[in-house]
Amino acid sequence: MGNLLTAIDLRAYYKTVQGEEIKAVDEVSLEVREGEVLGIAGESGCGKSTLASVLAFTVIPPLYVVSGEVRANGTNILTLDKETLRREIKGKYISIVPQGAMNSLNPTSRIKNFVIDVLKEHFPEMSKEEALQRARERFEALSLPPRILDAYPHQLSGGMKQRTVTVISTLLNPKVLIADEPTSALDVSSQKIVIKLLVELLRKQIIKSVVFITHELPLLRHFANRIAVMYAGKIVEVGPMESIIFEPLHPYSKLLISSVLVPESGMKSKRIEAIPGVPPNLKDPPTGCRFHPRCPSYIEGICNTSVPPFITVKSDHIVSCFLYGGEHG
Amino acid sequence: MKDILILLFRSKRFIVGFVLFLGILSFALIGPILNPKNPFQMVGGLFSPPSDRFILGTDNLGRDVFTQLMYGTRTSLLIGCTAGLIATTIGVTIGSIAGYKGGIIEEVLMGITNVFITIPSIVILILLSIAIKARSAVVMGLVIGITAWPWTARAVRAQTSSLKTREHIDIARITGFSSLEMIIYEILPYMFSYIFMAFILQFSGGILNEATLSMLGLGPFQTVSLGVMLHWSLLWEAVRTGAWWAFIPPVICLSMTTFSLMSMNTGMDEVFNPRLRRS
Amino acid sequence: MKNPFARYILQKISWYILAFFVAVSLNFILPRLIPGNPVSVIVNQMATGGVQSDVLERLYSTYMKEFGLDKPLYIQYFNYLRNIFRWNLGTSFMLYPGKVKDLIGRALPWTISLQVPAILSGWIIGNLLGAFSAYKGGKFDSVAFTLSLVFSNIPYYCLAIVFLYLLAVRFGLFPVGGGYSFGMVPTLSLRFIMNALYHYILPYLSMVLVAIGGQAIGMREMSLYELTSDYVNYAKNLGIRDERIIRYVFRNAMLPQITGLAISFGTMMGGALVTESVFSYPGVGSLLFTAIRQNDYPLIQGCTLIITVAVLTANFLVEIAYGFIDPRIRAVQLGER
């Protein structure tokens, strides 16, 4: 199985009115494999949503991509012109379930009108009836009542709106679906339904892979194949889900996992710890390893002077930390 | 506070409005001191064009237009300011009480407000002005002020309602403040910039309402205002006889004053509502 | 009630009836605050003007009867209400024995045909300009926005005076006032209509430019707000082209502007009345101007009443239309879920 999306050395900065740069995504490399659910986890403000918008080409000022590539089918999509991107990529190859789907639908228009617009935009020869028929079938196939199409957004509950947005995002059968905290505003049972829907979309081969961005690690436990942990604009560790959750390597990952209550076997006895300190200001991130001011295993003269390289510690499990230098690797 | 001022003076629109307004203000306040003439005194011929003696000529009764303009601008500013203060005070009081108290009090107060928004204020202004025979500039400002508050009340209510749900309000409420104390110490300070903007809007609206009323013949008694000057021009056919010096100066003064106020308001809006700012 | 939309309309109707009664009551009560008996004040004024005493006597008895000033206040009020509903607005002082309703009836068509097109076209053009300006940004936005700011802050009548002086008096391009040429008789002939249109241009222009400026500023602000909203970003992310997104934005930013249209009818009224008197346009504004100068209370009251009714009617129609158009409003009003 190949990679659907490969990010190489991505840097995306916010530029403030005062002319400062906020380095929200810095030197990030990551691949999205066919058929997988890739979870991206981290505290709020770590740059994971920014990474999502870069991967989904939804970069709007004051955010700018400074350098790096995003490759799909061998081409760097970041260099494509706006029109090609709109016609070939958006919604078709990569689609997004935005953060806060509550306001993602035009409040004054029935949902079917938007659905027809989406389909007709990419299939101009399709008639309105055909488009509507296709949407209705898709809604039914994913066990959503097709009468939603006749409703206005405000007539739907939060969970229903989130599912509707998810279905609309995947109408064009995109290869990669980027879900940016799709469940953070929902109650637990609605969360489960939305995740079920994502699994269903994968099973039915409507989409090929999901990038699921969340600050709630336990959610990933249920359906992610791999997890990338992000801290202060950088990825610190990537590996298979089981390996990350049960045997995290990076000190930050360890703290992140022990800080959340995971009511699963083997985790019960663990003490719940909060991570001391606060996430750094990304205007002026710490030198060396960005986690060093909060790190319990901090080594003076190493961690604060140079950036730790990625090291493969276990199979398919890489980490960026000096603890796993010479003696382990 | 200092930060706000620095931000404000980074807005080009605010600076333009502020400087223009200062100019008009000093013309209206300092002018009459340096040049203490009676604007009602007949000093020259009828409608004589600008000359060395009368830099803006004379009006239909041989009175000096430049002197009238200074006093007229002063009166218009006085009326506008009075109206603005009164409208803002009533509007903020009603709006903040309605927004903070909620429930039946809010419904009643907003019901009254909405009735007076629906009825065109010019009608009430005309009727009130006719009923009040001795209209001084201050009385006129008062009359305009008590018809203009509903917009401010509506806006302040909305702001208060959204402020009310903030955390610090809950904390203060637990400490046992009365409603009045809550509004004065915990709500209004957070709306200071907003209230000031409302005042500027009302100030400008007051000047315009004065001009409208005066042009209809319901201006202040025994004083000259910009509207009164325009009323005279209309009454004595200055426009059709081509005596431009009698009406162009008040037109310019009036437009510049309202423009300067609105420009300040827009500048403040851009500073306080970053969503309207463009990068 | 079964039909929720009917309930919405009924609610609005009762609201406007309330506003109407408040306005009518103010119309009744405020002129009665004038110190002294207005009838004797007027009659005395006329006496010094050398009117014969038997005429004065007749005048006095006519007005005393019409106002019912010898009766208690509440009876006066009910008489007043009854007269309004019978469309009996009394007799003019200055044009005795001319009826107020006839004077207003002659002036009203001029006012309506001047103001309604000016407000509506100013509203439409202003909204298009504002939305385009917000979308375009850059130089166009900054020029259009500044011009709108300048025009919207010139009071109508100031622009009217400048236009009248420059374009009519100075350069003689347009007539110096009136609704039609002196000596013409209003008919439906082509010649008269062309003549009336010629007189129409300047008053119309001086109102519409200011209206465009004001609406453009409001629409620009609304559109900027909508352009940064989540649904716009989402639509972009699904590859919807800009032209279509602008249509969403325009539609949504437009809805609050409909309320703005209703407000315009009320707020533009004062300036519009004065504009009419600047051009001596034969409408309600000029009538009011003369009535105020002559202390013609019945006529003033008639004018303020008709202005109130006109503005309330316009507001009501706009609100009903709004309820039809915006599903959000309807949902709130109807409790739809």
Q: Per-residue pLDDT for A271 more than 50?
A: no
Residue B24: which of B247, B213, B226, B210 has the closest Cα? B226
* Amino acid at site A95: S
**Once rounded to an integer, what is the mean pLDDT over residues A129-136?**
88
CA distance A21 to chain B (A): 14
Domain boundary assignment for chain C: 4-85, 102-325
Q: Containing domain of residue A173, as a range?
A: 3-108+152-324
Q: Are residues B108 and C257 in contact, defined by beta-carbon separation less than 8 angstroms?
A: no
Structure token pair of residue A319 = 């980490």
CA distance B185 to chain C (A): 31
Query: How confident is the prediction for chain A on average, in pLDDT?
Result: 82
Under the banding of pLDDT at 50, 70 and 90, the label for residue B19 is very high
Tell whether A117 is covered by a domain: no
Structure token pair of residue C31 = 């002129």
Which superfamily is assigned to C102-325 in CATH?
MetI-like (1.10.3720.10)
More confident residue, C315 or A279: C315
Interface test with B, best of C165, C176, C232, C290 (most B CBs within 10 A): C165
Under the banding of pLDDT at 50, 70 and 90, the label for residue B20 is very high
Number of domains in chain A: 1
Q: Are residues C308 and A132 in contact, defined by beta-carbon separation less than 8 angstroms?
A: no
Q: Are residues A111 and A185 in contact, defined by beta-carbon separation less than 8 angstroms?
A: no
Tell me: the pLDDT tens digits for C59-104? Answer: 777 777 776 667 777 888 888 888 888 888 878 877 777 888 889 9
Three-state SS for chain B is CHHHHHHHCCCHHHHHHHHHHHHHHHHHHHHHHHCCCCCCCECCCCCCCCCCCCCCCECCCCEEHHHHHHHHHHHHHHHHHHHHHHHHHHHHHHHHHHHHHCHHHHHHHHHHHHHHHHCCHHHHHHHHHHHCCCCCHHHHHHHHHHHHHHHHHHHHHHHHHHHHCCHHHHHHHHCCCCHHHHHHHHHHHHHHHHHHHHHHHHHHHHHHHHHHHHHCCCCCCCCCCHHHHHHHHHHCCCCCCCCHHHHHHHHHHHHHHHHHHHHHHHHHHHHHCHHHCCC
Residue C267: which of B80, B32, B118 has the closest Cα? B118
Q: Say if the Cβ atoms of B266 and C23 lie within 8 Å.
A: no
Query: How confident is the prediction for chain B on average, in pLDDT?
Result: 85
Tell me: the pLDDT tens digits for C219-230? Answer: 888 888 888 888
Q: What is the pLDDT of residue B2?
A: 66
**Once rounded to an integer, what is the mean pLDDT over residues A41-67?**
82
CA distance B273 to chain C (A): 10
**Closest chain B residue to the Cα of A16, Cα to Cα:** B279
CATH number at residue A213: 3.40.50.300
Q: Per-residue pLDDT for A270 more than 50?
A: no
Q: What is the pLDDT of residue A272?
A: 47
Of the candidate ranges A57-66, A194-203, B128-137, the one whose mean pLDDT is the lowest: A57-66
Give contacts of A 82-101 with C, CB under 8 A: 86-87, 89-92, 95-96, 98, 100
Q: Are residues A40 and A51 in contact, defined by beta-carbon separation less than 8 angstroms?
A: yes
Q: Per-residue pLDDT for B229 more than 60?
A: yes
Give contacts of A 99-158 with C, CB under 8 A: 100, 102-109, 114, 117-118, 121-122, 152, 154-155
Under the banding of pLDDT at 50, 70 and 90, the label for residue C50 is low
Q: Say if the Cβ atoms of C235 and A91 lie within 8 Å.
A: no
A118 neighbourhood in chain C, CB within 8 Å: 238-240
Q: A15 - beta bridge partners?
A: A21
Q: What is the pLDDT of residue C76?
A: 82
Q: What is the pLDDT of residue C32?
A: 77
Q: Say if the Cβ atoms of C292 and B130 lie within 8 Å.
A: yes
Of the candidate ranges A89-103, A255-269, A282-296, A302-316, the one whose mean pLDDT is the lowest: A255-269
Is A182's Cβ below 8 Å from some Cβ in C? no
Q: Say if the Cβ atoms of C271 and B212 lie within 8 Å.
A: yes
* Secondary structure element (H or E) that encloses residue A312, with its range: strand A310-314
Q: What is the pLDDT of residue A267?
A: 47
Q: Which option is the CATH number for B11-30+65-266: 1.10.3720.10, 2.40.40.20, 3.40.50.300, 1.10.579.10?
A: 1.10.3720.10
Is A62's Cβ below 8 Å from some Cβ in B? yes
ipTM (interface pTM): 0.85
